[in-house]
Amino acid sequence: MDWKEVLRRRLATPNTGLNRKKSEQELKDEEMDLFTKYYSEWKGAGKNTNEFYKIIPRFYYRLPAEDEVLLQKLREESRAVFLQRKSRELLDNEELQNLWFLLDKHQTPPMIGEEAMINYESFLKVGEKAGPKCKQFFTAKVFAKLFHTDSYGRISIMHFFNYVMRKVWLHQTRIGLSLYDVAGQGYLRESDLENYILELIPTLPQLDGLEKSFYSFYVCTAVRKFFFFLDPLRTGQYLNLDKDHNGMLSKEELSRYGTATMTNVFLDRVFQECLTYDGEMDYKTYLDFVLALENRKEPAALQYIFKLLDIENKGYLNVFSLNYFFRAIQELMKIHGQDPVSFQDVKDEIFDMVKPKDPLKISLQDLINSNQGDTVTTILIDLNGFWTYENREALVANDSENSADLDDT
């Protein structure tokens, strides 16, 4: 008996509920038996190996080539039909209104303030009347997820309805995004997401006043932000930094970013590691830079900055790399007439904050786990950031005095 016959018989076996559920070990043993059987047949096939391969179910389908226009059109049409079917499976406005009516009709007293509640028995009754599209929402798991501390064992009708609405909106969004998946591979490329955002702009009331000449900047900013955080803004500043108006930023132009107190050593590393064109940074690279600096508590941002600080590309920061960047901070302190700070003291503070697994090396994961990554990176690359950290106690005391003065008035 071949594997197809085994599968056919299994599927034909009625699910009466009396069949004993197999244990995990039994399933593993059965899987091993099948593997051994087919492997033995394959080894014994000899010159007829190709015949054995024919019984393996097909699992790979080649994408149509560019010149196979008919196949491409067929694939696009089948995807469109599939997405339309998925869209029809979602609750429409009329069905959502009917669901709300049923929930309100079956609410379980007593009322708690203005909050309508429903118990599990009534919850199941609504599920039976709401129709097949709603079946997925009326489960014990969903009820338990939304249950909190009601002494009558009920859940909030409003919370449940909002849960259903969010699920519907989520699936609607996924279907909408899938329409822009030109390659049909289950993901959006940067160009696909750009098209989606561009066509979305006219539907956003918040952007009614946005001039069309700025659409490309808005689209680029939004897309880069998605890709920065999902793939491991103060963008108006970009135009102000670009003094020669060539659409690119030189190191000298970028040095004026923020409080203009980042060290030249750090900026050198930015231009060494990041994609540039003839030594200048384009808008997309600038957005990555801004996102990293303005979200230094996020793992994606720390990964970006860590790569710049890891000058030896060893996967960790040691005393040498810390000293390499802090010397530039010391130089700026001298230029601004500030009292010098010992590197030894700063180094000890950094290791005390991070508490790395290896007492001589700080890995990216150490920085993330410490929840001090934003502070450590700031004091190594930005004079203003280091000054704020160094004078944190005095600043807190000053804020307290100012608050006290305000209270007195």
150 and 222 inside one domain: no
**Looking at residue 270, which CATH number applies to its domain?**
1.10.238.10
Position 190 in a domain: yes
Q: Are 224 and 284 in contact (CB under 8 A)?
A: yes
Q: Is residue 5 part of a domain?
A: no
Q: What pLDDT is recorded for position 123?
A: 95
Please indicate, yes or no, if residue 261 is contained in any of the structural domains.
yes
pLDDT for 360 equals 93
Asked which of 193, 228, 263 is the last residue of a domain, the reply is 228
CA pseudo-torsion sign 41, 46, 51, 54: positive
- Whether residue 133 lies inside any domain: the answer is yes
For residue 207, being part of any structural domain is answered with: no
Do residues 196 and 309 both lie within one domain?
no
Residues 166 and 222 in one domain: no
Looking at the fold, whether 174 and 281 belong to one and the same domain comes out as no
Which pair of structure tokens corresponds to residue 185? 């591979």
Residues 107 and 133 in one domain: yes
User: Does residue 236 share a domain with residue 219?
Assistant: no
User: Same domain, yes or no, for 365 and 387?
Assistant: yes
Residues 77 and 194 in one domain: no
Euclidean distance between CA atoms 149 and 320, whole angstroms: 56
286 and 162 fall within a common domain: no
Say whether both 80 and 195 belong to one domain.
Answer: no
Has residue 172 been placed in a domain? yes
Neighbours of 349 (CB within 10 A): 16
Task: Say what the pTM is.
Answer: 0.52
Residue 404, pLDDT score? 46
Q: Is the peptide bond before 14 cis (omega within 30 degrees of 0)?
A: no
Classify residue 289: in a domain, yes or no. yes
User: Do 246 and 390 fall into the same domain?
Assistant: yes
- SS3 of the chain: the string is CCHHHHHHHHHHCCCCCCCCCCCHHHHHHHHHHHHHHHHHHHHHHHHHHHHHHCCCCCCCCCCCCCCCHHHHHHHHHHHHHHHHHHHHCCCCHHHHHHHHHHHHHCCCCCCECCECEECHHHHHHHHHHHCHHHHHHCCHHHHHHHCCCCCCCCEEHHHHHHHHHHHHHHHHHHHHHHCCCCCCCCCCCHHHHHHHHHHHHHHCHHHCCCCHHHHHHHHHHHHHHHHHHHCCCCCHHHHHHCCCCCCCECHHHHCCCCCCCECHHHHHHHHHHCCCECCEECHHHHHHHHHHHHCCCCHHHHHHHHHHHCCCCCCCECHHHHHHHHHHHHHHHHHCCCCCCCHHHHHHHHHHHHCCCCCCCECHHHHHHHCCHHHHHHHHHEHHHHHHHHCHHHHHHHHHHHHHHHHHC
- Per-residue confidence of the chain (409 residues) as pLDDT tens digits? 454 454 455 545 555 444 455 777 888 888 888 777 766 665 665 545 566 566 677 777 788 888 888 988 888 888 889 889 999 999 999 999 999 999 999 999 988 788 899 999 999 999 999 999 999 999 999 999 999 888 899 999 999 999 999 999 999 988 888 888 877 777 788 888 889 889 888 888 888 888 888 888 888 888 888 877 765 544 447 667 878 877 789 999 999 888 888 999 999 999 999 878 888 998 888 888 988 998 999 999 999 999 999 999 999 999 999 999 999 999 998 888 888 789 999 999 999 999 999 999 999 999 999 999 999 999 999 998 888 888 876 655 555 554 445 455 4
**Looking at the 3D structure of the chain, how many domains does it have?**
3
Range(s) of the domain holding residue 126? 69-178
CB neighbours of residue 205 within 10 Å: 5
Q: Six-digit token pair at 276?
A: 């540039």
How many CA atoms are closer than 13 Å to the CA of 286, on its beta-carbon side? 29
Asked if residue 38 belongs to a domain, the reply is no
Pair 155, 196 in one domain: no
